[in-house]
Amino acid sequence: MFSKTSLLFALCALISLSAPTHAGDTADAINKIANGEHRSDKYKARNQFRNPGETLEFFGIRPDMTVVELSPGGGGWYTEILAPYLRESGTYYAGSYDPESTSEYSQRNMARYAEKLAKHPELYDRAKVTTFAPPDKMEAAPAGSADMVLTFRNMHSWMRRGTQEAMMQAAYSYLKPGGVLGVVAHRGDPDKPQDPKASKGYIQQDIIVQLAESAGFVLEASSEINANPKDTRDHPQGVWNLPPGFRDGDTDRAKYAAIGESDRMTLRFRKP
Cα separation, 185 vs 93, in Å, equals 20
pLDDT at res. 8:
36
Whole-number Å distance between alpha carbons of 66 and 269: 16
Q: What is the pLDDT of residue 20?
A: 34
Residue 197 to residue 200: CA distance in whole angstroms: 8
Architecture of domain 4-270: 3-Layer(aba) Sandwich (3.40)
Residue 53's contacts (CB-CB under 8 Å, 6 or more residues apart) are: 26, 27, 28, 29, 30, 31, 34
Are 198 and 155 in contact, with CB atoms under 8 Å apart? yes
Q: What is the 3-state secondary structure (H, E, C) of 142-204?
A: CCCCEEEEEEECCHHHHHHHCCHHHHHHHHHHHEEEEEEEEEEEEECCCCCCCCCCCCCCCEC
Return d(Cα 181, Cα 169) in angstroms, integer.
11
Does residue 19 register a pLDDT over 70? no
Segment 76-124, tens digit of pLDDT: 999 999 999 999 999 999 999 999 999 999 999 999 999 999 999 999 9
Task: Give the residue extent of every domain in the chain.
Answer: 4-270
What is the C-alpha to C-alpha distance for residues 121 and 134, in angstroms, rounded to an integer? 29
List b or e across 199-231, with b for residues whose CB sees 16 or more CB atoms inside 10 angstroms: ebbbbbbebbbebbeebebebeeebebbebeeb
Could you report the per-residue pLDDT of 118-169, keeping only the tens digit for each?
999 999 999 999 999 999 999 999 999 999 999 999 999 999 999 999 999 9
Mean pLDDT rounded to a whole number for the chain: 92
pTM for this one? 0.91
